[in-house]
Chain A
Amino acid sequence: MELGPYLLFASLEGLVHAAVLSLIALGLSLVFGVMRIVNVAHGEFFMLGAIITWWVSSFVSGNPAIGFLLALLVVPIIVGMTAVLSDWLILRHLKYDPEATIIATIGILYIIQQFALMTFGPDAKPVEQPFNIRLDLYWFGFSAYKFFVIFSAIILLLAIWLVMSKTKFGLILRATQLDSETAQAFGIPISRVYNIVFGLGAAIAAVGAVLIVPIQQAHYLMGGEPLLLAFIVVIIGGLGSLKGTVAAAILIGMSDGIISVFFSPNIAKILATLLVVVVLIIKPNGLFGTTKT
């Protein structure tokens, strides 16, 4: 393929990747920023979202768009509630101790993964695209649905930014993130905020899952790679920074897309991980992270 179209294709692939990655990473970043815990089970919430999307859409016959829209409504709620429940049952009892929660979320990771395996089986589950249109771009074809994924992710990110910066709920989250003790002194129910944030983080990842399943199929082992990439994004972008997370997701997503296409996907992963090392050495708080005093 000629260089121009090659680059166009790689960029488009990279954008799709970046769109979904920014949603997953945003969920992880939100949980870390507000609760100061590392959620190792985050990728499994994403996987759970993907498998439940298949499950929900398998109930709906006829136009695949109906099942997809239903999943878009229901799946984030189910996954969010699962996360709320696991916070209520486990994490809150650990007093959100950073080390203990890492171990606990590793446990949650295995519980969710094995639950998915035992309930839905080991096979990859295909979900039909809500609309099956192939755009012929002369040199190559590209699914119109992939543009829809990019578009939806942008809308969703804008909505999250609006909520965070313009609403009272956003203010409460930001206050808790900035200084949870002072926030509590001002009457903010910290434990409820934590509970909601943990659910919200998982729900945002689940939206990413609903969007990606018609492209990638749901499988019980699919949570590992997005978790790794989300960590990379969050570290590069600066923990807890919305702007940084999105910028880093685009950087990692695009470079993953372009390097994968031109060289190999393994080199893309190696370079992304190297970038983390460089960022940690030069700017330990991430590109957009603020230094804590």
Chain B
Amino acid sequence: MKKNSKSNLSRRKLMKSIAAVGSISAMPGFVNYSQASSSAPIRIGFQVHRTGIGAAYGRWYDRTTQAAVKIINDSGGINGRPLEIISEDDGTDPKRGAEALEKFANQHNCDVAFGTLFSHVVIGSAPRAGELKLPYFVVSEGHHVASGMLNRYTLQPGITDVKSQVQAMAPFVKDNLGKKVTMVYPDFAFGHDHRDYFSAAFESQGGEIIAKVPIPPTESSFSKYFPKIPRDTEVLYHVMVGPAVLTFVKELGEFYGSKGPKLFGFIDSVEAVDLNTPGLEFLDGSYFWEGNPRYAQDNQTVHDQFYRTAVGVDKNGASVSDPKDVSTYAHMFGCWETLHIIKKGMEVSGYSDVKDRSKLIEAVESMNNMPLSQAHPQGAKIFNGKTHQTFGHQYITKMTNGKLVLAHTTSIEDTFYPDEVDYTKQSF
């Protein structure tokens, strides 16, 4: 039988609860949002890869997002209103991704959606965002935003895209590693961006791609692909994603030992992997692209220091509470920066509720220079409002004694390419 709760509430209990509420509001850090016209929270639908092949990224995207929200809320929220994150697991699955967006728009009444990484989920979800007229801030790296494939409601202001990244890598690979490259990449949208744009950029530099080896992103063993790598390969360009990346690099080491071609990898191949795992010694001396250097470098900025501490990452890029729990440091800054951009966009546009969504998008579209700051700890960026894509510095690190040490930083201009779309011409 259901108890009658009224009869259980004694006077003493009531006094206790009142006292508790009072003491919470008196606590330091409890921000008074009373100046705002409405103090209802801004609701951000966070499409998170909690399960499925993107789970390691999802875990760290979540931690970064929570840290950024805490920082923003502690300093007064957005227009005096606190941020609230509504998380929805998409299982790293495009169909579930689109369903998550529907829930955000129709059930949770979210102001915007945010946070997707895997490109196939972005491509599967973005059309629904357009139909729902829900601003959709992705943190994905895919070129699909700037290629014009998506719509005006989808933006990628917090992380650079693969096309700009690989274009900036090509000269470095040719000048420092070799001219004959074999590419190993995951066989879906993200990997195809690598395949198409790196080979184009590299060939225009006078280099040659002698073989392309696609691997399904759900693959669990990789040795069988390695004999496809031609013997005269000078540089092996590798980029891999999914839960089995550790197996991928281990088997690569097993196959080649110290006799293989020079290695240039996207950090994705070892993202969330402890580089001191037995069997990975062969990576020493190889180069990696990093969106943001995992190890705190000698020239570490105060902003990186602040961001690292806020998210709970140590100087080796692992969780401060568990040195074996390695972060996805090269990517997750995108969540932090995107949330700060949403905040700025809402403040500039005077955002109050869902009817102001198009004003928010216009405000973000008119952003341009994003200087290195606490809001942009990865580095300065230039946002292109027409293509909805941001451009920024890229980092190349060299594995040296078990650590990734910065070897080269590209300029933002190295990453530019001509616009392929003007989303501002599309109507809302």
A167 within 8 A of B: no
Partner-contacting stretch, out of A68-76, A139-147, A155-163, A274-282: A139-147
Are A265 and B246 in touch, CB under 8 angstroms? no
Are A10 and B247 in touch, CB under 8 angstroms? no
Known contacts A1-B227, A9-B227, A128-B278; A123/B220 CB under 8 A: no
B124 within 8 A of A: no
Are B255 and A261 in touch, CB under 8 angstroms? no
A221 to B53 CA separation, bound complex (whole angstroms): 9
B340 within 8 A of A: no
Contacting residues of chain A (149-169) with chain B, CB-CB under 8 angstroms:
none
A140 to B247 CA separation, bound complex (whole angstroms): 17
A1 to B211 CA separation, bound complex (whole angstroms): 13
Q: Which of B58, B219, B272 contacts A265 (CB 8 A)?
A: B219
Give a binary string over B243-263; 1 marks a CB under 8 Å from any A CB, 0 the rest: 110110000011111000000
Are A261 and B279 in touch, CB under 8 angstroms? no
Chain A's nearest CB lies how many Å from the CB of B277?
Answer: 7
Q: Which of A13, A122, A132, A222 contacts B223 (CB 8 A)?
A: A13
B226 within 8 A of A: yes
Are A123 and B254 in touch, CB under 8 angstroms? no
Are A126 and B277 in touch, CB under 8 angstroms? yes
B421 within 8 A of A: no
Of B52, B221, B257, chain A has the most CB atoms within 10 Å of the CB of B221
B11 within 8 A of A: no
For chain A, the count of residues having a C-beta within 8 Å of the partner chain is 32
Number of A-B contacts (CB under 8 A): 76
Known contacts A124-B243, A124-B246, A134-B254; A260/B216 CB under 8 A: no
Are B216 and A265 in touch, CB under 8 angstroms? yes
Are B220 and A6 in touch, CB under 8 angstroms? no
Q: Which of B52, B55, B272, B279 contacts A132 (CB 8 A)?
A: B279
A219 within 8 A of B: yes
A97 to B282 CA separation, bound complex (whole angstroms): 55
Chain B's nearest CB lies how many Å from the CB of A233?
Answer: 18
A136 to B51 CA separation, bound complex (whole angstroms): 38
Of A117, A122, A257, chain B has the most CB atoms within 10 Å of the CB of A122
B120 within 8 A of A: no
Of A9, A217, A257, chain B has the most CB atoms within 10 Å of the CB of A217
9 pairs across A/B with beta carbons < 8 Å? Answer: A6-B227, A9-B223, A122-B52, A124-B244, A124-B246, A142-B254, A215-B247, A221-B52, A261-B227
Q: Which of B56, B223, B227 contacts A123 (CB 8 A)?
A: B56
Give a binary string over A40-74; 1 marks a CB under 8 Å from any B CB, 0 the rest: 00000000000000000000000000000000000
Nearest B residue (CB) for A263: B228
Give a binary string over A6-47; 1 marks a CB under 8 Å from any B CB, 0 the rest: 100110010000000000000000000000000000000000
B3 within 8 A of A: no
Are B254 and A141 in touch, CB under 8 angstroms? yes
- Which range contains the number of B residues in contact with the other chain? 20 to 34
Chain A's nearest CB lies how many Å from the CB of B191?
Answer: 15
Are B221 and A136 in touch, CB under 8 angstroms? no
Chain A's nearest CB lies how many Å from the CB of B111?
Answer: 28
B355 within 8 A of A: no
B308 within 8 A of A: no
Contacting residues of chain A (236-272) with chain B, CB-CB under 8 angstroms:
257, 260-261, 265-266
Are B257 and A136 in touch, CB under 8 angstroms? yes
**A contact residues around B228 at 8 Å (CB):** 261
A219 to B221 CA separation, bound complex (whole angstroms): 13
Are A215 and B221 in touch, CB under 8 angstroms? yes
Are A260 and B224 in touch, CB under 8 angstroms? yes
Chain A's nearest CB lies how many Å from the CB of B261?
Answer: 13
**For the complex of A and B, 7 pairs with smallest distance between CB atoms:** A122-B55, A124-B243, A260-B224, A122-B51, A1-B227, A261-B224, A141-B257
A222 to B242 CA separation, bound complex (whole angstroms): 13
Are A265 and B243 in touch, CB under 8 angstroms? no
Chain A's nearest CB lies how many Å from the CB of B327?
Answer: 13
A216 within 8 A of B: yes
B231 within 8 A of A: yes
A124 to B245 CA separation, bound complex (whole angstroms): 9
Q: Which of B55, B219, B244, B255 contacts A140 (CB 8 A)?
A: B255
Chain A's nearest CB lies how many Å from the CB of B372?
Answer: 33
B50 within 8 A of A: yes
Chain A's nearest CB lies how many Å from the CB of B90?
Answer: 12
Nearest B residue (CB) for A266: B216
Are B244 and A257 in touch, CB under 8 angstroms? no
**B contact residues around A141 at 8 Å (CB):** 254-257
Are A257 and B254 in touch, CB under 8 angstroms? no
**B contact residues around A1 at 8 Å (CB):** 227, 231
Chain B's nearest CB lies how many Å from the CB of A52?
Answer: 18
Chain B's nearest CB lies how many Å from the CB of A154?
Answer: 20
A121 to B52 CA separation, bound complex (whole angstroms): 10
A122 to B257 CA separation, bound complex (whole angstroms): 31
**B contact residues around A121 at 8 Å (CB):** 55
Q: Which of A6, A9, A217, A225 contacts B246 (CB 8 A)?
A: A217
Give a binary string over A193-226; 1 marks a CB under 8 Å from any B CB, 0 the rest: 0000000000000000000000111010110010
Nearest B residue (CB) for A1: B227
Chain B's nearest CB lies how many Å from the CB of A148?
Answer: 14
Known contacts A1-B227, A6-B227, A9-B227; A222/B220 CB under 8 A: yes
Q: Which of A6, A123, A129, A257 contacts B243 (CB 8 A)?
A: A123
A6 to B225 CA separation, bound complex (whole angstroms): 11
**A contact residues around B220 at 8 Å (CB):** 216-217, 219, 222, 225
Give a binary string over B283-318; 1 marks a CB under 8 Å from any A CB, 0 the rest: 000000000000000000000000000000000000
**B contact residues around A140 at 8 Å (CB):** 226-227, 255-256
A217 to B256 CA separation, bound complex (whole angstroms): 20
**A contact residues around B224 at 8 Å (CB):** 10, 13, 257, 260-261, 265
Are B246 and A126 in touch, CB under 8 angstroms? yes
**A contact residues around B218 at 8 Å (CB):** 221
**A contact residues around B253 at 8 Å (CB):** 134
**B contact residues around A265 at 8 Å (CB):** 216, 219, 224
Chain B's nearest CB lies how many Å from the CB of A284?
Answer: 32
A1 to B260 CA separation, bound complex (whole angstroms): 13
A217 to B142 CA separation, bound complex (whole angstroms): 28
Known contacts A10-B224, A140-B226, A215-B247; A132/B278 CB under 8 A: yes
Q: Which of A6, A132, A136, A216 contacts B247 (CB 8 A)?
A: A216
Nearest A residue (CB) for B245: A124
A97 to B24 CA separation, bound complex (whole angstroms): 61
Chain A's nearest CB lies how many Å from the CB of B330?
Answer: 18
